[in-house]
A and B are shown apart, each in its own frame.
Chain A
Amino acid sequence: MKHHTVLRIVTKLIIPLILLFGLYIQFHGDYSAGGGFQAGVIIASGFILYNIIFGLEVGFSILSINMTKNLMAIGVLLYIAVGFMGIIQGLNFLEYNSLLSSSKEGQLLGIFLVELGVGLTVSNVMILIFYSFNNMGEKL
């Protein structure tokens, strides 16, 4: 669909807005509606739009399948790592009080890292499912 001029120009205008909006929703989960799940889905839809308009080869050169698989696992591992920070210091699993100096700041940092892990995993799973349906196996 690259030779359609209108689609190409509008996509170049809209995709930065979509990614920026996804990041806004990810980091403002504390104050308004948002969090990891919604932000992951929105960022994935930005990448999928780029893949539809400009072709799968260009999309693979930006975000390859190995990167998607690795990021998917890194999200879950980040979540579990935050949980293990509590066990290292002798307290419970997923205890945020011990992460920073005071208890409140520890909670804020813990929630921030946990939502980051959730957002990474959800967005990469959606992109991976889209790649799988479009004959990903031959490019492996």
Chain B
Amino acid sequence: MSMIEAILLILGGVTALIGTIGCFKFKDFLSRTHAVSVVDTFSTLLIILSLIIHNGFTLLSVKLFLILIFLYITGSTAIHVLTQAFLKYSKKEIIK
């Protein structure tokens, strides 16, 4: 099934590229963190899913799934902490 893996891998790379371009193009800090979090969750999901399909139903796929869960927990927490720190210590006006 190498076609599905190739499509998923390319889609993961394209998503990472789009998220990174968004990180440069957005004007607001909060929008930039939103673009980075998209890269962190969606792109890693596609890449690891393609690796799981490539390896089939072995122990390696379970390990990759656990790596995905770990990345979700720590990546999302990092973006959350970044946003909380910005809201607390920034001196600019946040448009409600």
Measured CB to CB, the residues of A under 8 A from B are 4, 6-7, 10, 13-14, 17
Q: Report B-chain residues with C-beta under 8 Å of the C-beta of A6.
A: 77, 80
A-B contact pairs, 13 of them (CB 8 A): A4-B81, A4-B84, A6-B77, A6-B80, A7-B77, A7-B81, A10-B73, A10-B74, A10-B77, A13-B73, A14-B73, A14-B74, A17-B70
What chain B residues lie within 8 Å of A4 (beta carbons)?
81, 84
Chain B residues whose C-beta falls within 8 Å of the C-beta of A13 in the assembled complex: 73
From A6, which residue of chain B is reached at the shortest CB distance?
B80
Q: Restricting to B60-82, which residues have a CB under 8 Å from any CB of A?
A: 70, 73-74, 77, 80-81
Determine the main DSSP class of B at the interface with A: helix
Q: What 11 additional pairs, Cβ within 8 angstroms, besides A6-B80, A10-B73?
A: A4-B81, A4-B84, A6-B77, A7-B77, A7-B81, A10-B74, A10-B77, A13-B73, A14-B73, A14-B74, A17-B70
Contact size range, B? under 10
Give Cα A129–Cα B3 distance, bound, in whole angstroms: 51
Closest 10 CB pairs of A and B: A10-B77, A6-B80, A10-B73, A6-B77, A7-B81, A14-B74, A13-B73, A7-B77, A14-B73, A4-B84
Closest to B73 in A: A10
How many angstroms between the C-alpha atoms of A14 and B77 in the bound complex?
A: 11
Closest chain B CB from A5 CB (angstroms): 11
Set of chain B residues within 8 Å of A17, measured between Cβ atoms: 70
* Beta-carbon nearest neighbor of B80 in chain A: A6
Chain B proximity of A111: nearest CB distance (Å): 27
B residues less than 8 Å from A10 (CB atoms)? 73-74, 77
Contacts of A7 in B (CB 8 A): 77, 81
* Chain A, Cβ-Cβ closest to B78: A10
